[in-house]
Amino acid sequence: AAFPAGTLAPPPTPHLFSDPAEIGSLRGNLLAWYDRCKRDLPWRTLAATEPDADRRAYAVWVSEIMLQQTQVATVIDYYNRWMQKWPTLQALAQASLEEVNELWAGLGYYSRGKRLQEAAKKVVSELAGQMPRTAEDLQKLLPGVGRYTAGAIASISYGQATGVVDGNVIRVLCRLRCIGADSNSPAVIDQLWDMANALVDRSRPGDFNQALMELGATVCTPKAPLCGECPVKQHCRAWRRKLFGKSTPVPDVEDCGVGSCPLCPPPTEPWDSSLGVTNFPRKAAKKQPRVERTATCVLERKGCHGALEYLIVQRPSSGLLAGLWEFPSLLLAQDLQEEKQREVLADHLRAWTGWPVAAGGLQFIGEVVHIFSHIHQTYVVYSLHLDGDVTLDPTLFPSRWVTEEEFHASAVSTAMKKVL
Ligand code: SF4
């Protein structure tokens, strides 16, 4: 078929939902399952019971930002504490960044908290405290709110019939429709958004979106999906393909074209029957994380009440772990011998504290490995006990002495807690 110049051919039908009856049945099955099996989560309760639209949108927004790259079980406690401390946008807009970092400590990807607070300030100062009312405006007007978060807030808080695509949805849709092309590629992502928008239930969009994500999180999981319990298995082409295999002449479970279909697996990576439905989705090989080593020194002294105190310093206000506190640390050059490591760290501490820190006085404690999203970080941990009163030049960088209890209540990263 010929298509107008500048437009792409629609994808082959095996990868689409084109039958309205099937779409209706999938919506019904998924929502019925969700009503039966959904997890009881604090943001769901707020979204269902809060009568004020701005408060509702704020409650969903906070949950969505916290849930990015973080497990539900971890988020619940943080979410409850956050909503108790800042139940409204207005309250959050008045918080300090230090308070936000303290509450966020341990949740990871720290810029999320900072951006949330900046965006709340913007809503209060520039939008008269009113949250934008559509996905389009949320994305356009709120810093840090991308297409997914905007769609989630608008569908869950306002009932706008707009779809969402996150990691869970990508997995479910790729399996439902045997999409085996690189699921991170813009062409595939665009297709999935179109599909999510077409599928979303018109009368219960928020529940439908949450149901699709919940299905991905609890049933259609990455490695061991529970297809036997899946409420939409009769719509799932990956499952049918697993049952019937490729050689069986079931038309809609065949690849749709040899090498030419933009949504099929590449010809070099055909269906692997040992993988079953987990053939989908496929991702291009991930970039290897950068490998770094950082020397860090736990400086301790006896405080005036006899308890040990530790020196922590604040990181710069931009970049990785912006504004968080840590033990004095120094990124090490590659392949530095242990002896040399100790020397550069001692030099660094001398310059900082003005104390005659000798390399031999640093006690090697051990190594701590922490994986950030794109960095494989090894902290080489030393400790040093100081006997006198050390005062650091406050104009150099913020620093303070803290007890162990104060350390845990400070805005410190999970990596630093491991170091301690
Ligand atoms: Fe996922 Fe299996 Fe359900 Fe298909 S049948 S959507 S692969 S859990």
How far the first Cα of the chain sits from its last, in Å, is: 66
Radius of gyration of the chain (CA): 26
Atom 4 of ligand 1: nearest residue by CA position: 236
**Using an 8 Å Cβ cutoff, are 414 and 400 in contact?**
no
Where are the domain boundaries for CATH 3.90.79.10 in the chain? 290-418
pTM exceeds 0.85, yes or no? no
Using the mean position of ligand 1's atoms as its centre, give its distance from the Cα of residue 2 in Å.
35
Q: Largest alpha-carbon pair distance within the chain?
A: 83
Where are the domain boundaries for CATH 1.10.340.30 in the chain? 20-279
Which residues, in sequence order, are CB contacts of 174 under 8 Å at separation 6+?
180, 183, 192, 238, 280, 281, 282
What Å distances lie between residue 20 and 25, 26, 282, CA to CA? 9, 10, 28
DSSP letter, residue 265: P
CATH topology of domain 20-279: Endonuclease III; domain 1 (1.10.340)
- The structure tokens listed for 38 are 């959904």
> Domain 290-418 is of which CATH architecture?
Alpha-Beta Complex (3.90)
What Å distances lie between residue 140 and 4, 10, 65, 381, CA to CA? 31, 28, 17, 44
DSSP letter, residue 322: T
Q: What distance in Å separates the CA atoms of residue 35 and residue 330, rounded to the nearest whole number?
A: 52
- The structure tokens listed for 159 are 């009932």
Ligand 1 contacts CB of residue 172 (under 6 A): yes
Ligand 1 contacts CB of residue 169 (under 6 A): no
* DSSP states along 75-141: HHHHHHHHHHH--SHHHHHTS-HHHHHHHHTTSS-THHHHHHHHHHHHHHHHSTTPPPSSHHHHHHH
Using the mean position of ligand 1's atoms as its centre, give its distance from the Cα of residue 44 in Å.
24
Ligand 1 contacts CB of residue 239 (under 6 A): yes
Atom 2 of ligand 1: nearest residue by CA position: 227
Using the mean position of ligand 1's atoms as its centre, give its distance from the Cα of residue 42 in Å.
27
Look up residue 354 and give its amino acid. Answer: G
Ligand 1 contacts CB of residue 227 (under 6 A): yes
Closest ligand 1 atom to Cα of 231: 3
By annotation, the residues acting in catalysis are: 64
Ligand 1 contacts CB of residue 238 (under 6 A): yes
What Å distances lie between residue 318 and 64, 115, 398, 401, CA to CA? 23, 12, 15, 23
- The structure tokens listed for 30 are 């998924």
Q: Which position has the token pair 């009312």?
A: 133
- The structure tokens listed for 396 are 């150099």
> Tens place of pLDDT for every residue, the chain, 420 residues?
444 454 555 566 788 898 999 999 999 999 999 999 999 999 999 999 999 999 999 999 999 999 998 999 999 999 999 999 999 999 999 999 999 999 999 898 888 999 999 999 999 999 999 999 999 999 999 988 999 999 999 999 999 999 999 999 999 999 999 999 999 999 999 999 999 999 999 999 999 999 999 999 999 999 999 999 999 999 999 999 888 765 444 444 455 654 578 888 887 888 888 999 999 999 877 788 899 999 999 999 988 888 899 999 999 888 888 889 999 999 999 888 888 999 999 999 888 877 888 989 999 999 999 988 789 999 999 999 988 666 676 677 788 999 999 999 999 999 999 999
DSSP letter, residue 253: G
